[in-house]
Amino acid sequence: MTSIKRLILDVLKPHAPSIIELAERLGDLPGISGVNISLEEVDAETDSVKITIEGTDISYGSVKKEISECGAVIHSIDGVSAGMKLVDEVNTPQDR
């Protein structure tokens, strides 16, 4: 079975824990080598964040559980890369 190398998630989280703590918690999961969290929007009670996770063997189930334990929910999976290596998107003439 092939392994997940990158996940890009749209997540709605409460103000606490901070994005620093959430990144540390996700970064401590097995198979994850890096986490990037960007704050997209803030309202009275929640933060909308974009989370990019890279690693050698990312367990979506473990990521989802950790996010849920922080009181957050995954709105959507905006990207996923799997296989032997990461493949970056390439713009084509249709993208213009």
Residue 72 carries which DSSP code?
Answer: -
* ∠ CA 67-18-38, rounded to 5°: 80
Range of the domain at 34: 4-85
21-35 pLDDT, tens per residue?
999 999 999 999 999
Residue position matching structure tokens 């959507």: 76
With respect to residue 64, please indicate whether it lies within any of the assigned structural domains: yes
What is the number of domains present in the chain? 1
pLDDT band, residue 51 (cuts 50/70/90): very high
* ∠ CA 20-65-3, rounded to 5°: 95
With respect to residue 77, please indicate whether it lies within any of the assigned structural domains: yes
The pLDDT value given to residue 81: 95
pLDDT band, residue 85 (cuts 50/70/90): confident
pLDDT band, residue 90 (cuts 50/70/90): confident
With respect to residue 92, please indicate whether it lies within any of the assigned structural domains: no
